[in-house]
Amino acid sequence: MKKKTLEDLHVHGKKVLVRVDFNVPITDGEITDDNRIIQALPTIQYLIDEEAKIILFSHLGRVKTEEDLAKNSLKVVADRLQELIEKPVKFIPLTRGEALESAINAMKNGDIVMVENTRFEDLKGNKESKNDPELGAYWASLGDVFVNDAFGTAHRAHASNVGIASLKESVAGFLMEKELRYIGDTVENPERPFIAILGGAKVSDKIGVIDNLLKKADKVLIGGGMAYTFMKSLGYNIGTSIVENDKLELAKSLLEKANGKLILPVDLVVTKEFKADAANRVTTYEKIQNDEMGLDIGPKTIKLFKKELKGAKTVIWNGPLGVFEFEAFAKGTRAICEILANLKNARTIIGGGDSAAAAIQMGYAESFTHISTGGGASLEFLEGKELPGVTSLDDAIECDCGEGCGCH
> What pLDDT, in 10s, does the model give residues 302-315?
999 999 999 999 99
Tell me, yes or no, whether 396 lies in a domain: no
Residues 297 and 222 in one domain: yes
Cα separation, 17 vs 368, in Å, equals 31
Which long-range contacts link 276-285 to residues 24+ away (Cβ below 8 Å)?
276/325, 276/326, 276/327, 276/328, 277/328, 278/328, 280/328, 280/329, 285/231, 285/236, 285/237, 285/238
Among 106, 116, 5, 144, CA closest to 57: 116
Picking from 38-52, 154-168, 325-339, 379-393, which range would have the lowest pLDDT averaged per residue?
379-393
Given a contact cutoff of 8 angstroms between Cβ atoms, the answer to whether 146 and 338 are in contact is: no
Which amino acid is residue 11, in one-letter code?
Answer: V
- Residue 166 sits in a domain whose CATH number is 3.40.50.1260
Residues designated as active site: 36, 202, 353, 376
Structural domain that includes position 165 = 6-175
For residues 104 and 148, membership in a common domain is answered with yes
pLDDT digits (tens, 9 = 90+) for 118-142: 999 999 889 999 999 999 999 999 9
What's the whole-number mean pLDDT along residues 254-263? 95
Q: Is residue 391 part of a domain?
A: no
Instruction: For residue 400, tell me if it sits in a domain.
Output: no
pLDDT at 404 over 60: no
Average pLDDT over residues 63-73: 90
Structurally, the chain folds into a number of domains equal to 2
Whole-number pLDDT of residue 353: 82
Q: Phi/psi of residue 109, each to 5°?
A: -55, 130
| Distance in angstroms (rounded) separating the CA atoms of residues 115 and 59 | 10
Are residues 360 and 265 part of one domain? yes
One domain for residues 170 and 195: no
